[in-house]
Chain A
Amino acid sequence: MQIDINKSVFERNDALASQLRKRFSENHVYVVDICASPGAGKTSTILATIDALCDEFNIAVIEGDIASSVDAERIKAAGIPAVQINTGGACHLESSMITRAVDVLDLERLDLIIVENVGNLVCPTDFDLGENAKVIILSVPEGDDKPLKYPGIFEVSQAVILNKVDTAPLFNFDEEAFRNAVQTLNPNAPIFPISATAGQGVEEWTEWLAGEIRRVQET
């Protein structure tokens, strides 16, 4: 006999993500999920973001990696609380992992939580973490065709950072083609060309993020 189930495979993750979103909202905490390939400059961008925003906002970072605590150490060295999640091989973070990480943070006194997802342009796309925004970082050396090859992550992101623009002279990166591809997939997402390590463009990105955080605080 046929037994109807009609159940989403993402149901459990989405239910936990909704609970997280409620907790974040009650505490007026803005949460951004940073997604990118390994080596695109997630940690460097986060450090530059902390540097620009730490005077105005209380910030914490949740670091997702398959193994090691190298990234969390870099964040802690900047004087910011960091929780390391080791996924032990899993290719993305899930809402249950964020729930455990958030339990050790003091939500009441935080304004911004930056989640650094596992380096991967595919898997994080499908998993809601209760965040306010996903932000995708692409770096110039990866090539301008990546939105065409990995459309999902560009579609679900609320903003796009193009990192390492200072290396543009070394690579055959067509910024206009990149912008067109992103706009077709996600016309509402702003694109921020930056160099996280040289500081170029970081102000425009952090001003946008600060605006988003203030909006959450005013509600």
Chain B
Amino acid sequence: MTGKNKENYNENYINYVKSISVKTNEKRTLFRAFWVGGLICVIGQSLRLLLEKVFFITGDELAGYVSMILIFIGSFLTGLGVYDRIGKYAGGGSIVPITGFANSVVSPAMEFKSEGFIYGLAAKMFTIAGPIIVFGVASSVVVGLVYYFIYWVF
């Protein structure tokens, strides 16, 4: 009965385990992710309005400033050891916004600092955010091409 590899695994057992596994409370996690994620977006939007109305910043520059401030907040809270607690509570709500991205860069940087600044901190900084950057850039190229051809055809 000892399955040797993935190909002859014990289907009965896996189904049995699935049937008695503890399920994630979907309603609760969705609600938490919604309000925390929403709150982060509200903060971002308020910053935007503040910068626009008070400091008269507009256009791309405005978007840049808002992102910078949010990234700073995310990194700062990670450094204080608060962001992982928010993440534990909110799940996707605090992972998806830009603050979650900041968290995913800063947390490995902090963790691997013990291996030195070059091979530790700098090399391991993007272990989690790396794929996001790669696929982000790749998908932006695809979207750009689609946009270009639609523009060209019509």
Q: Do A and B come from one complex?
A: no
A residues bordering B, Cβ < 8 Å? Answer: none
B residues bordering A, Cβ < 8 Å? Answer: none
